[in-house]
A and B are shown apart, each in its own frame.
Chain A
Amino acid sequence: MPVIETRGLVKHYRNVQALKGVSVAVEAGEIYGLLGRNGAGKTTMVKILLGIAHRTAGEAFLLGRPVGDPAARARVGFLPEDHRFPDYHTAESALDFYASLSGMSRRDRRARIPEMIERVGLKEAARRKIRTYSKGMKQRLGLGQAMIHDPDVLFLDEPTDGVDPVGRKQIRDVLVDLKSRGKTIFLNSHLLSEVELVSDRVAILELGLLRREGDVPSMTTAKDVYELRFDGRIDPLLPEIQKRVRGLRRIDQGIEVDVDGRDALNGVIDFVRDRGIGLVGLTPKKQTLEDVFLQTIDSPPGAPTS
């Protein structure tokens, strides 16, 4: 059973259709990245899942319970984008407050709070008012409050926003650690390289529509594009190779070809080897998640994406 599931989720804000029938299913233990431009509907979707906003139509479930049921949120942690802690708290008192809201007993809180403060690197500032914190410190505290009650599902909206590269690495390590402990993470981020590094699956949301969804390796592998490297001079053969492929580009020590299936690829290799030049390397061409994202949002809805 999926941990997070939406079926035909629709959300209207007066004249704006924020979500136009989005269906996703996130399994336990996955890191699921939701990508999209500003206004694509990512935050709306998370807010509906957490009962912060109400859906207009469709269905949504969290841990098997309909969203809006407070009990469903007992095992969920959330780090909102642009979160703002009441500045009269210290890190300690804020964590105590959010842990209590999640229903943790005093004994559990006493044990868990110092551990969490240590984990997010706020030990030195634990008893200082939050109003004195830098943005990065607030972000780390945000992560701490999301994890304080050891939730099974974490929703993280731009978790590395405002954090320096070292801090970003620390947050990535935390995510990987959580995944290794079987936690499910729903990640909203603009930093595509980060999402690519940690996510198992990603979905691309554009203007309220789910445009693409899949696991990261398959999405970032370009279909039928290969890099071929040879042990001899290939340049004289390029005009003949051009006739056998859809696209050809010269690269260092070889060529990049866009072919029409595996037979066409073998035809190119055979043609070169027949002329006494040996194949020393063949690599399926990889795309970055950013390439995939840009291709997806630039193509019209319904168009095939490579």
Chain B
Amino acid sequence: MRRYAAVLKDSLVETLDRKSLTFLLAVSAFIILLCASVGYRELDAEGTLRHLVRHFNTVATFRGMNARATRFDVHFDVSDVREVVGGEGDSSVEYECTLTAAPVKEFHRCVLAWQAAKSEESRVEGDSVPEPGPEAEESFVQAKFRERFIPRVTVRGKSAEGDARAFDVRIRTSRRAVLEGSHEISVLFGAWSTRLPTSVAVFLIGVEVLVAEYIAGIFGLLIAIVFTAGFVPAMLQKGTLDLVLARPIRRPGLLLTKYVGGFLYIVFPAVLLIGGCWLILSWRADFFNFGFLASIGLLLATFALLHSFSVLCGVLFRSSIASIMMTVGLWGVSWLVGVVRDGVHAFQVDWAAPGALVKALDALHLILPKTRDLGRAAVELIARGNLGAEASTMMAQQAGAEALPVQWGSCIASSALFVAVMLTAACWVFSRRDY
């Protein structure tokens, strides 16, 4: 045990000697500071709803992988906003209000376009616009609220008022922050501010996804791959390895400990970055999203996958450059396979993909590391932590268009199997080779 602890300590000394860790820590500290600079100013419910319904005139249509947004010349507004249930400190709150849409003709065009997008039919053109019916109108309004992450809404049509269509709307928020939490946000300690189109919860999802999925999940991982790719080739250098192999240590144990040492390289910056941001954002927003904190695990799992392949490449080629190129290449290929696979399944609506292609993509997806799935799982975790199961499902659908859902069980199992296979192969080669 003492020997393996010495290898781990050696990896730590090697890590501390490299400037990359300092760089990662500095970037993490900067991002935490940016998060700390975010401020919120609470808005009243009427102002929030008025701001929210302004965007109801846009209808998005999805054709396979293509999304298109069409804006209609219809004006939505709210009035008579009343809080009917809840109050200060309550976790749920209900509002009633009147929603109006004008002019009616353009509103009907908008509803029909929304219906067409839903049923994959062509949009209605020309002056003669059929009336969509009260049920369709109510469904449209309800759907528009859901698009804005307000799932529990009841809508009842009222009689027309002039050239406007009116609805009684009752909104029950899943959490106070969804509606009442709508705020004006400022960044850089008030240097720049804007009004949120939705709630603080949704804004936080955006920030948390940016940190976990893009800054840590792409930028951070890329740096970690580049700098840890040299650990094994450096150990395998002629003259360096002899000094270690002549000691009473088993080769598989040595390599696995080196793998763990490389893995630990990212643990500290990941915990600092995500943990720090989580703490600061939670403190500022007064809401602790443990889903965001848990995304550290998925980030580390993604690195564990890629690092195992990097270690195998290091043993095979004894070159940092080859390890980096092949690991980044594998990461890119597995991402591409995931995107194409989702695309092919989405295209099945219009075009039946050859069975062989679907099978080949499924097989590749099974074999390759599930880096993309782990990333999507992290987004789901963050969304679920902020908005609850219902809202996160909506968000996942919106974000991933027609992407296949993440299968958590198979994703984790196949990732673990991938790491096991890579490390077994690396140990086998390392044990058999002459140095």
Interface, chain A (partner B; CB < 8 A): 13, 47, 50-54, 70-74, 76-78, 80-86, 88-89, 93, 97-98, 100-103, 105, 145, 155
Contacts and interface: CB of A to CB of B under 8 A. Distances in A.
B5 interface: yes
A110 to B, nearest CB: 14
Contacts of B3: 100-103
Contact of A84 (B2, B238, B246): B238
B250 interface: yes
Contact of B242 (A76, A80, A93): A80
| Best-surrounded residue of B7, B16, B246 (most CB of chain A within 10 A) | B246
A38 to B, nearest CB: 15
A88 B13 contact: yes
19 contacts: A47-B435, A51-B245, A70-B248, A71-B248, A74-B248, A78-B243, A84-B240, A85-B240, A86-B10, A86-B240, A88-B14, A88-B17, A93-B13, A97-B13, A100-B5, A101-B3, A101-B249, A102-B3, A103-B248
Contacts of A93: 13
Given A50-B246, A70-B248, A103-B3, 5 more contacts: A47-B435, A50-B245, A54-B434, A78-B242, A86-B240
Contacts of A71: 248
Interface of B: 2-3, 5-7, 9-10, 13-14, 16-18, 234, 237-250, 432, 434-435
Given A54-B432, A100-B2, A100-B3, A73 B239 contact: no
A52 B13 contact: no
A70 B240 contact: no
Contact of A101 (B6, B17, B239, B434): B6
A154 to B, nearest CB: 11
B357 to A, nearest CB: 42
A84 B2 CA distance: 23
B243 to A, nearest CB: 6
Given A47-B242, A86-B240, A73 B248 contact: yes
Contacts of A88: 13-14, 16-18
| Best-surrounded residue of B16, B244, B434 (most CB of chain A within 10 A) | B434
B14 A100 contact: no
Nearest to A105: B2
B412 to A, nearest CB: 35
A73 B246 contact: yes
A155 B10 CA distance: 24
Contacts of B7: 101
A102 B245 CA distance: 11
A50 B245 CA distance: 8
Nearest to A155: B246
B435 A101 contact: no
| Best-surrounded residue of B5, B6, B7, B9 (most CB of chain A within 10 A) | B6
A52 B9 contact: no
Contacts of A103: 2-3, 248
Contact of B9 (A80, A82, A83, A97): A97
B247 A101 contact: yes
A70 B3 CA distance: 12
A-B residue pairs, 4 tightest by C-beta: A100-B6, A88-B17, A84-B239, A78-B246
B248 A102 contact: yes
Given A74-B248, A100-B3, A52 B434 contact: yes
A105 B434 CA distance: 30
Contacts of B250: 70
Nearest to B16: A88
Nearest to A129: B17
Contacts of A51: 245-246
A83 B250 CA distance: 20
Contacts of A155: 246
Nearest to A50: B246
B261 to A, nearest CB: 12
Nearest to B253: A70
B6 A53 contact: no
Nearest to A104: B2
A73 B246 CA distance: 7
